[in-house]
């Protein structure tokens, strides 16, 4: 395989693939970003199912290989561009803290959102079961957001005292916490908000948001939307 390999990111606007998209832009690696809009069901096209048979994004083409799972993709990008400092050095406690975060984000936080937005995934088709899963997940989301707040402590970033792919991953789920489908009061999250503001201020993040929102102009948290309109 050529080095560095040809990289192709398959993303859907505002999906969890936003974290990988930000990581690639921050890494300064050359890559192509290909939109596979889930809302338009482009992820279920035969062409995309050939790339990722599960139909999920993100998927990262690496030469002829395809890597899936945000945690793996984020780790790969950070390790391919070590000078970008997108993850702490292997063998450090900060490094495994990053993996601890990413595993928790994928396995707990993302799953909680999915239980609200796509309750059928867990409840099946029975309306009472769907409503029960959704209501339970909303309570769980409040708990999850409090846990983020506790875990962040007083540091500016999630790990290692500097921006990392973990912050990009957390940023995605901060934006999701404003989704109108949640329809419930969520706990205040000042530390998480401050971290998201720091991430949002990064030029690479602005470039990615502009690229994704050119595909579909998705909603952003009110303070971000205001900052973008003032910048125009
Ligand atoms: N565990 C995977 C989850 C990927 C995932 O659920 N992606 C969603 C978008 S956020 C998706 O592609 N959903 C479309 C589908 O599964 O049909 C990861 O962390 O990358």
What is the count of structural domains for the chain? 2
Question: Does residue 226 form part of some domain?
Answer: no
**Prior bond of 58 cis (ω within 30°):** yes
Residue 21's domain comprises 7-84
Q: What CATH number does the domain containing 116 carry?
A: 1.20.1050.10
Q: Is the CB of 57 under 6 A from ligand 1?
A: yes
Q: Are residues 105 and 191 in the same domain?
A: yes
Domain boundary among 54, 84, 114: 84
pLDDT of 213 over the 80 cut: yes
C-alpha closest to that of 164 among 227, 228, 71: 71
Helix (H) or strand (E) holding 65: strand 65-68
Q: Are residues 197 and 106 in the same domain?
A: yes
Q: Are residues 113 and 151 in the same domain?
A: yes
Lay out the sheet containing 32-35: strands in order across: 32-35, 7-11, 59-62, 65-68
User: Residue 43: what pLDDT?
Assistant: 98
Question: Does residue 139 form part of some domain?
Answer: yes
Asked if 176 and 105 touch (Cβ cutoff 8 Å), the reply is no
| Three-class secondary structure of residue 32 per DSSP | strand
Q: Are residues 74 and 153 in the same domain?
A: no
pLDDT tens digits, residue range 163-191?
999 999 999 999 999 999 999 999 999 99
User: How does residue 129 score in pLDDT terms, banded at 50, 70 and 90?
Assistant: very high
User: How does residue 205 score in pLDDT terms, banded at 50, 70 and 90?
Assistant: very high
Q: Is the CB of 9 under 6 A from ligand 1?
A: no
Q: Are residues 68 and 101 in the same domain?
A: no
User: Residue 2: what pLDDT?
Assistant: 81
The chain-wide mean pLDDT, for the chain, equals 96
Mutate which of 43, 54, 57, 77 to test ligand 1's pocket (most atoms within 8 Å of Cβ)? 57
User: Residue 207: what pLDDT?
Assistant: 96
Q: Are residues 99 and 185 in the same domain?
A: yes
| Three-class secondary structure of residue 12 per DSSP | coil
pLDDT tens digits, residue range 1-20?
788 899 999 999 999 999 99
Packing angle between helix 165-176 and helix 70-80, nearest 10 degrees? 140
Q: Is the CB of 69 under 6 A from ligand 1?
A: yes
pLDDT of 110 over the 80 cut: yes
pLDDT of 232 over the 80 cut: no
Q: Are residues 100 and 197 in the same domain?
A: yes
Q: Are residues 102 and 196 in the same domain?
A: yes
Cα(220)–Cα(197) distance, integer angstroms: 12
Average pLDDT over residues 135-141: 97
């Amino acid at each position: 395989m050529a080095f560095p390999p040809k990289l192709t990111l398959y993303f859907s606007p505002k999906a969890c693939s936003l974290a990988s998209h930000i990581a690639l832009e921050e890494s300064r690696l050359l890559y192509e970003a290909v939109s596979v809009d889930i809302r338009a069901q482009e992820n279920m096209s035969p062409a995309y199912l050939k790339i990722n048979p599960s139909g999920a994004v993100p998927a990262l083409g690496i030469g002829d290989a395809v890597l899936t799972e945000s945690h793996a993709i984020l780790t790969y990008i950070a390790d391919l561009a070590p000078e970008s400092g997108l993850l702490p050095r292997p063998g450090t406690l900060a490094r495994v803290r990053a993996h601890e975060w990413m595993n928790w984000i994928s396995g707990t936080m993302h799953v909680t959102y999915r239980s609200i937005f796509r309750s059928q995934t867990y409840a099946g088709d029975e309306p009472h079961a769907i409503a029960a899963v959704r209501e339970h997940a909303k309570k769980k989301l409040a708990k999850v957001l409090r846990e983020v707040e506790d875990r962040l402590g007083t540091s500016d970033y999630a790990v290692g005292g500097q921006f990392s792919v973990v912050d990009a991953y957390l940023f995605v789920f901060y934006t999701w916490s404003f989704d109108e489908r949640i329809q419930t009061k969520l706990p205040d999250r000042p530390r998480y908000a401050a971290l998201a503001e720091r991430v949002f201020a990064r030029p690479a993040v602005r470039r990615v948001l502009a690229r994704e929102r050119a595909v579909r102009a998705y909603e952003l948290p009110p303070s971000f939307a205001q900052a973008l309109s003032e910048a125009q």
